[in-house]
């Protein structure tokens, strides 16, 4: 019977003999089709408008489809890869897995290895067979060299020399963290200068956001993933917080507003992005006040797609309070600002959870698409009260991936050495500490919003 955790029970085979093929399906007691197979059958036309078929051929086709149902895209699979490990295999022919992929996504323990009881619990005990050959029995830290490097076939596909070193991979967000968190910050007046790398928090912000904090010893943080050993920086434990939608949320709010067509037309006329135009428009309407003060009466809770960290509640919804009847460009710009602030308040909430559990953080290192938006960066500095370091190279995920290759090539003795040499500070954005009291008040409102949402849900669920 097919793998994939099917509960024990009866299964039924339906066979359909058609004009051109025999089809068969495996169906469970709920009527759910679990597997499908088909096989063409022969037809002869001995003379015009006369058609013949062979009953023996039809019977043989029935045998083919029913056998194929028993041997499924599951029994035939030789290996199950996470995407980074699949790409490494295609490049080198080596089936070794990255510790990052297995620890963060596959419940692998860097200390104990695979847990047989877990696979049995979820009905995938066949993964345990043959010394875990299908899911990986050789696990390497990120940056380790794989096999003999690039195979001749992969070299032809990629236009690179055969045999060059290929590194054990990282998940994309983790590569971004690696690309920024180890930068040499001397001379920038930062609190993290001369402090352990554990005082830094990497925030990879794009469609969604990941918050990567590392520690020498394992720290368990409620609502935050991890700790994972050597999953990003070898020798350090990783905690991974996150926000389900950030860039996607900003797009949703801006593009769904009634004034968006006007915004788009004006931005196009100036050869600007809509966000560059919104940022300049906010500077026009702020008057003598700091731009962040425009949202004094407008507050957003940003979990339009549930909360990943630190509340870990997928049932939470987005909230906006302070709306008016007007829907002009000013209203759109201020709602955009309030949304950006809400995302930054979400980062502050994650930081507080990390610090309450034992992390000691002083500096944010931002990368990803949203880090190109100066308003997004400044709001994160102002609302968290921490300076924000931006990388000299905007594409920090690619720099992180290249750091792995540099380490695999043997040009650096360790990933940490490669990080310190290849990661460069581009710009530092400091918080406007004079605005701290305002943002502390908005943060109190931010926390009240989610408490009120929970109260409303309790009322509606009550008798």
Report the Cα–Cα distance between both ends of the chain, in Å, rounded: 46
State percent of the chain over pLDDT 70. 98
Averaged pLDDT, 119-136: 92
| Whole-angstrom distance, CA of residue 103 vs CA of residue 226 | 9
Given this model, what pLDDT does residue 1 score? Answer: 44
Given this model, what pLDDT does residue 75 score? Answer: 74
E strands, 223-297, are 225-229, 237-243
Q: Is the confidence at residue 6, as pLDDT, over 70? A: no
| Of 101, 132, 130, nearest in space to 118 by CA | 132
Peptide bond connecting 462 to the previous residue in cis, omega within 30 degrees of 0:
no
Q: Beta 21-28 vs 33-40: how paired, if at all?
A: antiparallel
pLDDT bucket at 72, cuts 50 / 70 / 90: low
For the 12-27+78-179+395-424 domain, the top CATH level (class) is alpha beta
- Domain regions of the chain by residue span: 12-27+78-179+395-424, 191-386+432-462
Q: Examine domains 12-27+78-179+395-424 and 191-386+432-462 and report if their fold is the same.
A: yes
Pick from 5-19, 37-51, 381-395: least confident: 5-19
Q: Which residue has the higher pLDDT, 46 or 277?
A: 277
Q: Is the confidence at residue 11, as pLDDT, over 90? A: no
Averaged pLDDT, 154-160: 97
DSSP 207: S
Averaged pLDDT, 292-312: 98
Averaged pLDDT, 25-36: 90
pLDDT bucket at 4, cuts 50 / 70 / 90: very low
Q: Is the confidence at residue 446, as pLDDT, over 50? A: yes
pTM of the shown model: 0.85
Calculate the alpha carbon distances from 300 to 336, 371, 439, 442 in Å: 10, 21, 13, 10
Cα angle value 25/30/35 (rounded, 5°): 25
Mean pLDDT of the chain: 94
Which of 3.80.10.10, 3.30.420.40, 2.40.240.10, 3.40.50.300 would CATH assign to domain 191-386+432-462?
3.30.420.40
Averaged pLDDT, 224-253: 96
Averaged pLDDT, 395-405: 95
The answer to whether 227 and 236 have CB atoms below 8 angstroms apart is: no
| Whole-angstrom distance, CA of residue 222 vs CA of residue 294 | 34
What is the residue whose two structure tokens read 């490494």?
88
């Amino acid at each position: 019977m097919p793998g994939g955790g099917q509960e024990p029970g009866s299964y039924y085979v339906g066979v359909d003999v058609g004009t051109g093929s025999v089809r068969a399906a495996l169906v469970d007691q709920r009527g759910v089709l679990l597997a499908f197979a088909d096989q063409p059958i022969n037809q002869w036309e001995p003379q015009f408008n006369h058609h013949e078929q062979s009953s023996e051929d039809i019977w043989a086709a029935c045998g083919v489809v029913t056998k194929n149902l028993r041997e499924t895209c599951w029994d035939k699979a030789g290996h199950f890869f996470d995407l980074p490990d699949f790409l490494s295999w295609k490049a080198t022919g080596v089936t070794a897995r990255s510790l990052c992929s297995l620890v963060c996504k596959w419940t692998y323990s860097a200390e104990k290895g695979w847990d047989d009881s877990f696979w049995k619990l979820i009905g995938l005990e066949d993964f345990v067979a043959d010394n875990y050959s299908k899911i990986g029995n050789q696990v390497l830290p990120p940056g380790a060299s794989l096999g003999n490097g690039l195979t001749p076939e992969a070299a032809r596909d990629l236009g690179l020399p055969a045999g060059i070193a290929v590194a054990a991979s990282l998940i994309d967000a983790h590569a971004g963290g690696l690309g920024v968190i180890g930068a040499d910050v001397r001379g920038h007046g930062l609190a993290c200068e001369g402090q352990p790398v554990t005082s830094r928090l990497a925030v990879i912000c794009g469609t969604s956001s990941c918050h990567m904090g590392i520690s020498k010893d394992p720290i368990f943080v409620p609502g935050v993933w991890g700790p994972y050993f050597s999953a990003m920086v070898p020798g350090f434990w990783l905690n991974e917080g996150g926000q389900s939608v950030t860039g996607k949320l900003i797009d949703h709010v801006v593009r769904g507003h009634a004034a968006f067509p006007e915004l788009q037309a004006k931005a196009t006329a100036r050869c600007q992005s809509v966000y560059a135009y919104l940022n300049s428009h906010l500077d026009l309407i702020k008057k003598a006040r700091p731009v962040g003060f425009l949202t004094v009466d407008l507050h957003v809770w940003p979990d339009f797609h549930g909360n990943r960290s630190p509340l870990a509640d997928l049932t939470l919804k987005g909230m906006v309070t302070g709306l008016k009847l007007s829907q002009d460009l000013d209203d759109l710009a201020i709602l955009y600002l309030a949304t950006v602030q809400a995302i930054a308040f979400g980062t502050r909430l994650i930081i507080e959870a990390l610090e309450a559990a034992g992390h000691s953080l002083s500096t944010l290192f931002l990368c990803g698409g949203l880090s190109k938006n100066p308003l997004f960066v400044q709001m994160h500095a102002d609302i968290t009260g921490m300076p924000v370091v931006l990388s000299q190279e905007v594409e920090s995920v690619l720099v992180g991936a290249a750091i792995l290759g540099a380490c695999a090539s043997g040009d650096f003795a360790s990933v940490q050495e490669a990080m310190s040499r290849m990661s460069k500070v581009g710009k530092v954005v400091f918080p406007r500490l004079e605005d701290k009291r305002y943002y502390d008040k908005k943060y109190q409102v931010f926390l009240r919003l989610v408490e009120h949402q929970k109260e409303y849900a309790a009322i509606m669920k009550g008798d």
